[in-house]
A and B are shown apart, each in its own frame.
Chain A
Amino acid sequence: MSSSADNTEIQQEVQAFLDGRRQRIVSRTGGWFPGKGVFSHGYSMLDELVGEKSYFQILILNATGRLVERPLADWVEAVYGCLSWPDPRIWCNQIGALAGSARASVVAGTALGVLATDARSYGVLPLIEGVGFIQQALKKHQSGLTAEDILQEATSARGGKPYIVGYIRPIAKGDERLVVMEKIAKKLQIPVGPHLTLAYEIEKLLLEKYQEGMNINGYVSAVLSDQGFSAQEIYQMFACLVASGVTACYLDTFKQPPESFLPLRCEDIDYQGTASRPLPDFILARQ
Chain B
Amino acid sequence: MKTFLAWLLWLWIAFTIVAAYLFTPAMEGFVGGGESSRILFFHVPMAWTSFVAFLAAGVWSARYLWGRRDRRHDLAAAAAVEIGLVFCVLATLSGAIWAKVEWGAFWNWDPRQLSITVALVYYAAYLALRSQVADAEVRGRVAGAYAVLGLFVAPFLFFVAPRLAAFSLHPQPVVNAEVLTGREEVGMDPAILWVLLAGSVGFTVLFFWLHDLATRAAVIEDRSEAAA
Q: Do A and B bind each other?
A: no
**Which residues in A have some Cβ–Cβ distance to B below 8 Å?**
none
**Which residues in B have some Cβ–Cβ distance to A below 8 Å?**
none
